[in-house]
Structure formats: C-alpha cells, structure tokens
Structure 1
Amino acid sequence: MPEQSSPLELAEGDPFGPHNLPYGVFSTPDRPGEQRVGVRIGSHVLDAGAAATALGSPYAQLLAQPDLMPLLAAGRTAWSDVRRALTAWVTVPAHRADIEPLLHPVDSVTLHLPYRVADYVDFYASEHHATNVGRIFRPDGDALTPNWKHLPIGYHGRAGTVVVSGTDVTRPSGQRKAPADPAPVFGPSVKLDIEAEVGFVVGTGSEQGRPVALADFREHVFGLSLLNDWSARDIQAWEYVPLGPFLGKSFATSVSAWVTPLEALDAARTAPPARDFPLLPYLDDTDEEQPGGFDLRLSVAINGQVVAEPPFSTMYWTAAQQLAQMTVNGASLRTGDLYGSGTISGAEPAQRGSLLELTWNGRDPLELREGKRTFLEDGDTVTMTAWAPGPDGIRVGLGEVTGRIVSAP
C-alpha cells in the first residue's frame, strides 16, 4: 500500500495553509466537556496548547486554555511571537512526530464560541447599504443622513446573544405596526432578515478616558471573523424612533468559529473609497502608513443557493476609524470586545448584503429552489463564507458563519 501522506502536506493553494492559521476553540467526542484552543491547518485542527506543551514552548500557558481570552489579552508582541511559533510547528519537518498526533479532522470536532464577548457594538459603514436603506424608507428625502459622511454611525448591541456559527436562531417576537395598521400587534417577526458583516475582535484593552488613535488599531485588534447581524425589520421599524435598534437586533448575532489574525491579512490591505468631505483629525487616515481597508470577498447563500456576493473593499469607514470613533469619548476597550462592520453592500444588485435590499423591502422577491423569498422563513439556513487575497496569490479562507431559523415558541 502507498504510504499515507501527512495531514500537514496540503494541496497547493489550500486557503487554510500556514499563511492563514486562524484560531478557534474545539472539543472532541472523547472529551466533550473539555474546550481547547485550536488552530486550523488545512482540513484539521491542531490542539495548540498540547503542541506548545509537547515542544516545551514558553507560550504553553497562553494556549493551554479553554478559550482565547489569555492570548487576546497578551498583546501584539505575543500575538506575533505565537504566530511565528505555530508556523514553524506546522511547517518544519522535524516537528511532525510531535504535531501529527495532535491534529483532529475539522469535521470530527465541535467548535465553540472562541472568546467571551465583553461588549458588542455594530456600525453602519457601507455607503451603498445606507443609500439603499435611505431610498427604501425615505424615497422623497435624502438617502443619507447629514452626519453619515462625517463619522461612523453605530449602536450598542447585546453581548450575551452573540452565538457561534451553527447555532439555531429562534424567530423573535415583538411589537410591529405597518403604516396602515390602526394599532400595533404582538407576534413573531414576519420580516426576519440577514446582514452580511465582518466582526473585529479586540485583544488588548484601553484605559477609560483615553481615546484610541487610528495608528494604534493593530495594538488593540487581534483579528476578524464573519458575522451575521440577524434583524427583525418589522420589529425594528416600529421601535427604533427615536433611539435606534433594540429588540429588532438583540435576539441573536452569529459569528464564525474562526478568528483570522490581522497578520494573515496583510496582503489584503487596500485603500478605502475616496472620502467626499474632509474628516476631523481623529478620523483622518490620509497619512496613515498602511491602507485601512480590507479586500474581503463574501458570499451569502440561503439553503445552499448563493444570493449575494458583497465586497468588503467598498466599505466607506474602516475598522480603524470605527475603533477611533468608539473610544473618542473616552470609552474604554476590554479584552473580548466585538464590533461589527455594518452590512456590506456593493454597487451592484447582486452585491447587496441584506434581504431588505435584495428584495427592496419585499417588492422584488428572490427566486429560490424552494420558492420565492422576501424575508426568511422557518427552516431556512443562511451560510456566509469569505476569502481574501493572500501572499503569492494564495487565498486566505475566512471560514463560514451559518444559522438555521427555527419557529418562535
């Protein structure tokens, strides 16, 4: 029989090769109650803590943990050092005898929420999305509000309802009132929507009262994940005046099980769109050394059928500007803070990151194999995937975030 190849011998161009190495948390069937930090390599997960222990690494204490919190809190120097060590462990042939027994097939493990979400903030940073929403709800007025191009607009969500990919999403109930209805009614949402986003994970916290500058973005943000900001549009429409999103958003937010370090995305850095107005100094990134945008290519599927491919490179406000805005009043960061980019939409109809836009608030239903859809029905499964350009033309895989809608209780 031919000798079996090593799990570390990956096909050329594997999006989860040594150039990527995203972090997650997993458990195995034989030890279901024991969560461990893992790093994805190809179609396997490396038990990072066990590897560090086996190789006598000084990073064993950071990696032999039930979640990513100690690593996140360790700071940028530690993040870089650990990444270099992991790269060596999975590429240097001399380490194979120690590393191979610690690899688990991805499809054989259970993936968990990889960090404890401290605070959750969501933004509204795509000009195409904001313009579409404005045209839907204010057809006779200005599509964008007067402040939109002067600061990143956001709102505070509920950290306790952030769930890992694969978790079912229960249809929320609440008050809703259509314009022609004489009074509000209570019941399950009939306009349950998706929002294709990217979530940024804060590692190092900051001192209260001291804003975080644009240049310090990479000192605080560890990496990113895909994010689906589920939205009950009918509940949201009735409740949001004058204080903004509340119950229409806070019932569930799904994130990928994998956190891709920012260092894996250096080749995907790109300039954001041209700004139409001069920005105040704390948001002005014209002289920053690195471009603030990321060239991420998303794909959104409902029941396995792709309905949109939003491009992250079109986002008007960058993650660094969002972090600066989030702290400019002196608000502090904590390890495990998560902030969402806001819905990602491009200029073309097939690049819209929400059903609100794709169906123009129900006017133009989507044709799916199961039938027409304006908004989500019970049993629908939404899956978002993404990739980014990597070194030497190799793609960086960003995993997936998926969720199935189950009926309201």
Structure 2
Amino acid sequence: MTDLFQAAKLEEDAPRPLADRLRPTRLDEIAGQDHLLGADGALTRLIRAGALGSLVFWGPPGTGKTTVARLLAHETNLVFVQISAIFSGVADLKKVFEAARARRAAGQGTLLFVDEIHRFNRAQQDSFLPVMEDGTVTLIGATTENPSFELNAALLSRARVMTFKALDEAALEKLLARAEQAEGRPLPLDADARAALIAMSDGDGRAALTLAEEIWRAAKPGETFDRAGLVEVTQRRAPIYDKAQEGHYNLISALHKSVRGSDPDAALYYLARMLVAGEDPLFLARRIVRMAVEDIGLADPQALVVANAAKDAYDFLGSPEGELALAQALIYVATAPKSNAAYVAFQRARRLAVDKGSLMPPKIILNAPTKMMREEGYGEGYEYDHDAPEAFSGQNYWPDSLKAQKLYRPVERGFEREIAKRLDYWERLRKERRDS
C-alpha cells in the first residue's frame, strides 16, 4: 500500500507541517550548531577524515539531531535506518541487525539512527555492541538525557558524544527568515511580538516553526499581532522583557548568581521576573535544587532538603500558592553558607576516572561469593570497620595501581567545618595505624 501511494506521488501532495517542509537538505543549512558543523566543527572534521564512527547526539529537542543524522548518512553513502527506543524491542533490533548484515554482505553500509536511545534498558543497549564492533552498523543514538547517567559505559566507550546546543536568538531568527521565504510572506508580528515568539520557543527550532505556522493560520488579511495578540493566538504566556530583550538564559543566570552571591533580595526579584513572564515554576524549582547541591553542598546539607520540599509543595499546591514555597526555598539557599567543595570534588573524580580508566578495586574490599573468587584472594584480609576501634579500620580502598587521592576538600564554613575536623581526625588515626 505504501508503494502504491509513493508511485502515485500522493504523499508529496499530502499536507505537511512547516517544520517538516523546512527540514534542511544540506548540513550547511543546519542552524545553531556551528561548533559541530562549522568549517572546523567536530562533525565536519570527521566527515573530512572519512571516518565517522559511532556517535551519541546529546541535546534538547528541536536542535537538529535527527536531521543531522539523516544528512550524515547521505554524506557518507550509508543507508539511513531510523528506529525509536520508545516503540522498538529486542525482536525489532534483531530484524534491523539482520538487514544491516545483508547490506554489508552486498557491500553497502548502514547508519542506524536510534531516537531516545536512553529508553533502552541495559541488555538492549548491550545488543548494539557486536554490530558496532564488527562494523555492521554505524550507530548514531540521540538522547535528551545526560549520556553519562543513562547509557552503558560499554556503549559510551565505543561512541563519541556530540553535544547539540539549544538554538540561540540568532539561529531562531534565521529559521523564521527561512519560513518567511518559503511562505512568501512576512510573519504578521510587530518587533516586540517577534522577540516574544523567539523567547517562547526556548531554543527549540521545531517549536518556533510550529508557533509561526499557528500565527499565519490565525491572522486575518492585513492583521499584525502585538505581544498581547500573540499570547491570545498561541494561548501561551509571553515572557515579559524590558527593551534590552534579555532572554530566558540571562534571567536564570542572574537568579543563580544572585543566590551564589548571597543576595536574597536580588534573587527574589529575578524569581518574580521569571514567574510573571510565564516561566515554568518547576523549571525554577529544579534550578533551586541545583543551587543547593552546586553552591551550598555540605556547608548546609539541609538546603537540599528544603529545595526538594519546595518542589514537592509546588507540585501539591500549584500556582499561585506553591510559588511562595519556591520563594521560601530561594531565600533559604541565598542566605545559607556557601561551598562548592562537593561539586569540585566530583569534577576531580570524573577527570580521574577518565584519565585512569577501568582500574580494578583492591581485592581486599571485593566480595567473594564463589569458591574460585575466594581462592583468588577476593575479600581476603578485609577489616569490618564496625569491629575496629572508633569504627574506623583505616584500610586502603583505592586501586593498587593508584595511590590515595584527596578529592574532597571541605571549606571552613557552615557544617563543612565539622566535616573537615572529622576528616583530619580519621587521617591521624590512619597514620597512627599505618605506622604501628
């Protein structure tokens, strides 16, 4: 049936959304990803070298991940196959792999694009490894989630992560200009409403084109919408900016830095600005949680509890009552003692993990559930800390080939002052027991 429709060219005459009609046909038409597709972009270099390899595209919706994958297949003469992890299971993957093997036997490669790849479970992700290793497929997985947390280490070790950025104002303006050229008419918006539409899109090119299409459909001949008219047509609240047209990211940056700088009044001002502008309160709640872990940390462990409680309170109460819970949490984090020691320690740990690779932990702290493992010395000599004086054995927990590192360095503020005392005490005990 599909072939009959295609033969009759009925599909070409079917109505298509503006975003689909404006889908780029060349890589140089992709907006907002110059760090990947510019003259010296990461993907441009791979294409130039003729060695694409498997990739993971990480970025927010509407930034061109699917389109870039499709165009890369064309650039590298690979057959493009697209599946979604939401709708595919193991049986579907087997069929895709078998078809790719058949193509390979005939001398044709396959670029397999997997949308929402993070939705696959560990076993499903592992099924990609053999076909990636033997070259049956060149895998491109797309995800809006952090690959470090959502994808298997084995899969990540075989693929390079490419980060797609939310489209900035210039990139969205470029998209709207292309839409106007394709439609042969300007958007019926005044300058203020046009800026508001770009802000509403929140870095999502598909959303910008969808909004533009709504506006063209709603406009009467000769009609031009102002900001209020835009809001009425799209049924979305337009962010309220002053004449400098600061964007969403400028305001959230100002909010975060006001908290980091312990200025609760400025923080409340920016919170109110964003709420009045129609910002999603749960987006702000998530940012307050981030402030609690990134800028306060263990200087006041209660900050995270308060921030999460505010998020839950908003979920329970909704607007406008729940917004007071966010304001209360914001005042708490702005006036809390500050420390980024935990954040810095985690970054050091990540760098160390990348630099040193997959080092084996010392056998002394590994479990030995089988006879063979016990014979290999797993768990031999382990000291149960609760049985040691001060409930502290002082034994080594680092890989044998990596000396103990100092990653976490608490500051002399808030509760971390007490943590520092505790760590110093344990270090003295460790030295005493090592020397005895």
**TM-score (structure 1 length as normaliser):** 0.24
Q: Pick the structure with greater CA Rg.
A: 2
The one of the two structures with greater contact order (alpha-carbon pairs below 8 A, sep at least 6) is 1
* Structure with the higher fraction of residues in strand conformation: 1
